[in-house]
Structure 1
Amino acid sequence: MSQPPQNGWGQQPPSGDPYGQSSANGGYGAQGQSPHGFGAPGTGPSSANGDYGQGGAFAPSFGDGGGQGFTPQGGAPKKSYKVPILICAGCALLALLLIVVGGGIFLFARSGGEPTGGGETTTTEGGEDPTDEPTDEPTDEPSDEPSDEPTDEPSDEPTDEPSEEPAGDGSGTEDDPYALGQEFTIDDGEGGTLDVTIGEIDWDATEVVMDASSGNTEVSENQTYILVPVTVTYHGEDTAEPILLLTLDYRSEAGGTYTDEGALTPQSVIYTDTLYDGDSATWDYGIIVPSAEIESGHFTVGALFDFGGEESWVSAT
């Protein structure tokens, strides 16, 4: 059976010889002539690096010139980018250097001008301070203080004290307290007034207070209860609760201050009724006092809700 003519890898096309010709380096040896007059098939000359005439690093290429060209299998060589990168880095470094140098020159020039301004401000401030302080202080202090103090103090004190003393038994101050049994009036802090009178004091009322309630605080050996009777008359448009009207403290000459701690007495404030305009009520305060400090000192009385008012002083004897 005859075969059509064909070219193997790396083999030149058949020549015009009608009988064909095998390659001298054919991979399969000479085949003789075909009985039909065609050249025997065969392969082209093999390469030293392959069995079929193809190098290990090259692939066949088919061109238009009748011959066969070769192209490297790895493709065209890559371009190098190192040079452009180095150029850009150099330009950036140069620009940064120019900015640093320029900024340094600007700061140096600016700092060089500041000392002149700072010197001027210090000299002006230093010049003003000495002139102001000596002129103001000596002129104001001696002129004002001596003129005011001697004129005000002597004129007020002698005129006020003698005028208040003849008004009654006392004025309600610590130096001139009200007397026991003397009625005095205070503001209740809510628009009304209270007429207050403190009666005679029971300086040894421990037994009476403890008989009124066993829940009262017991006194020690050196203490005693005192009973302070108070009579109050309310004047105002509203009503008044006696338990919320007064504060009362006992101040001994020894310096102690003692107050009612809610002891129940035979005539306790919790038993009194609501007061209307013109109503009066009397109750007792039970106060624990050291036995050595009784029958001396003063009582201070104030309105519970008159936070800005002054307390009234009442003599304890």
Structure 2
Amino acid sequence: MHQTPPTVPLPGPAVPRRPRTSFYAAVGCLSVIAGLLLGVGGFFGVRALQDGGSTPVVDGEGRAESTDGTPPAEEPTVLDKTPAGADSAVPLGSTFPLRSTALGGEVEVTVTEVDWDATEEIHEANSFNEEPREGNRYLLLTVEGAYHGDGFDGIGAGNWANVTYVAQDGTEYARSYRVTPGHDELIGQRGVAEDGGFLAEFCFEVPAGLEAGGHFVFDDVVRDVDAGAWVDAV
């Protein structure tokens, strides 16, 4: 029996393909934009993590400022002239010269440390030290000095400088004469080394609730905070 072969449909006209150049160009542009956004976002994200919200950054004029709006702490410096007055206050850790009439020479002063609650240390230094009054505590200022003169007078060494603590509210606290951890029976502080170096400690009695801050003021003989050398307490 004769079979009719299956009918195969004739191919229709070819449909032209659209060029994909514009598609690839669009994808490329989107990739570039996404890369830029990710790069910029990642940069600021890393900076935010590194800064922690408080690390000083440098503004357009090259000045350091804090990201939380507070000014950064100044770096300690070395001065060849004694700073005078509150407007010339120097950062904690700075070194400056101070004339000492008691020692008959000049002392290079470096304020190295502030212990804001040294009550226990003062008591352990000497059990005969007076306890601070009720509601008060002792703070302890440590100073490294380098003496330049003809001879270190052991008798006057304990009072080689007047030091006053001026709190943030302007209240002045005079030195409390207590035996300190670095006390030496001869001069009231650790002995002077051959190069003239020595360590001195100054005790102050302050209210227990007093916040850290303010300034320490150094002068020679007369207690004159307005003309003394001011050092940041923190």
Which residue of 2 is the match for residue 188 of structure 1?
A: 100
Which residue of 2 is the match for residue 252 of structure 1?
A: 167
Give the alignment's TM-score, normalised by structure 2. Answer: 0.56
Indicate the SS of the match to 2:123. helix
Paired residue for 1:280, among 197, 205, 209? 197
Give the alignment's TM-score, normalised by structure 1. Answer: 0.42
Q: Whose radius of gyration is greater, 1 or 2? A: 1
Letter aligned with residue 199 of structure 2: T
Q: Which has the higher helix share?
A: 1
1:172, 1:178 within 8 Å by CA — same for their partners in 2? no
Which residue of 2 is the match for residue 236 of structure 1?
A: 149
Which residue of 2 is the match for residue 153 of structure 1?
A: none
The reply on whether 1:300 has 2:217 as its aligned counterpart is yes
Letter aligned with residue 208 of structure 2: S
How far is the alpha carbon of 1:292 from its aligned partner? 2.8
CA distance in 1, matches of 2:176, 2:223: 20
> How has the CA–CA distance of structure 1 residues 219 and 211 changed in structure 2, closer, same or farther, with 3 Å as cutoff?
same
Number of residue pairs the alignment of both structures matches: 150
CA distance in 1, matches of 2:223, 2:149: 15
> How has the CA–CA distance of structure 1 residues 209 and 311 changed in structure 2, closer, same or farther, with 3 Å as cutoff?
same
Which residue of 1 is the match for residue 5 of structure 2?
A: none
Q: How does 1:14-163 map to 2 (within 5 A)?
A: none
2:166, 2:214 within 8 Å by CA — same for their partners in 1? yes
Which residue of 1 is the match for residue 139 of structure 2?
A: 226
CA distance in 2, matches of 1:214, 1:223: 18
CA distance in 2, matches of 1:284, 1:254: 24
Which residue of 2 is the match for residue 174 of structure 1?
A: 86
CA distance in 1, matches of 2:170, 2:209: 12
Letter aligned with residue 293 of structure 1: L
2:158, 2:189 within 8 Å by CA — same for their partners in 1? no
> How has the CA–CA distance of structure 1 residues 257 and 237 changed in structure 2, closer, same or farther, with 3 Å as cutoff?
same
2:100, 2:107 within 8 Å by CA — same for their partners in 1? yes
The reply on whether 1:199 has 2:112 as its aligned counterpart is yes
CA distance in 2, matches of 1:271, 1:301: 17
Indicate the SS of the match to 2:143. strand
1:234, 1:240 within 8 Å by CA — same for their partners in 2? no
Paired residue for 2:188, among 265, 270, 281? 270
Q: Which has the higher strand share?
A: 2
How far is the alpha carbon of 1:260 from its aligned partner? 2.0
2:215, 2:231 within 8 Å by CA — same for their partners in 1? yes
% identical equivalent positions? 26
1:240, 1:274 within 8 Å by CA — same for their partners in 2? no
CA distance in 2, matches of 1:185, 1:310: 14
CA distance in 2, matches of 1:281, 1:271: 8
Letter aligned with residue 150 of structure 2: E
> How has the CA–CA distance of structure 1 residues 285 and 306 changed in structure 2, closer, same or farther, with 3 Å as cutoff?
closer
Q: What's the Cα RMSD here?
A: 3.0
> How has the CA–CA distance of structure 1 residues 179 and 240 changed in structure 2, closer, same or farther, with 3 Å as cutoff?
farther
1:234, 1:275 within 8 Å by CA — same for their partners in 2? no
Ranked by relative contact order (alpha carbons within 8 Å, sequence separation 6 or more), the top structure is 2
> How has the CA–CA distance of structure 1 residues 196 and 245 changed in structure 2, closer, same or farther, with 3 Å as cutoff?
same
1:231, 1:281 within 8 Å by CA — same for their partners in 2? yes
How far is the alpha carbon of 1:191 from its aligned partner? 5.3
Letter aligned with residue 182 of structure 2: Q
> How has the CA–CA distance of structure 1 residues 199 and 271 changed in structure 2, closer, same or farther, with 3 Å as cutoff?
closer
Indicate the SS of the match to 2:87. coil
* Cα distance per residue 1:44-74 (max 9 Å; x no partner): xxxxxxxxxxxxxxxxxxxxxxxxxxxxxxx
Letter aligned with residue 231 of structure 1: E
Q: List alignment gaps of at least 5 residues for structure 1.
A: 1-167
Which residue of 2 is the match for residue 312 of structure 1?
A: 229
